[in-house]
Amino acid sequence: MTLEHSTFASPLGELTVVTHGGRLAGLGFSDCGTPLRRSLERRFGRVTPTAASAPSPIARVLAAYFAGDVAALDTIDVDPGGTTFQQRVWGALRRIPVGQTVSYRDLARTIGAPAAVRAVGAANGANPIGIVVPCHRVIGADGALHGYAGGLARKRWLLRHEGAIA
């Protein structure tokens, strides 16, 4: 089993990029590495990270995103793993248009599970592919920013960058 690891210098800090079979399997802020590492270990068991042999095409897309092409992330092929429920939530996250936000309640309704707001929140928090699977676009029903593994300052920056907030 090969998981290739590389890093990407973003305006928000270094990102850890993990690919599996050419697809993005993990993306997180390097200074918040424990949740990503745990997620990958749950999915793949103990693996020794292999340094990527060449710059990842994902790095080029991330560079385009941070340079202002905020729709570029839609082109990245992802492989997040997860349960069937998590996959439904993460798929719905990828369908939130750039520049828009939704509440946890709205996201639960979108996947046909209106009573599962807390479970949607848990799936959102377990997202192993931050930014590309845009969990940062989910906000509280009151419009407030809540919970983001990279911290609320980064969530605010991403939403401003995408034009979702002023």
Residues with catalytic function: 135
Which sign, positive or negative, has the C-alpha torsion 140, 146, 150, 153? positive
Strand stretches in the chain, DSSP E: 4-10, 13-20, 23-29, 50-51, 102-103, 138-139
Beta-carbon neighbour count of residue 20 at 10 Å? 18
Strands 138-139 and 102-103: parallel
Beta-carbon neighbour count of residue 84 at 10 Å? 6
Strands 4-10 and 13-20: antiparallel
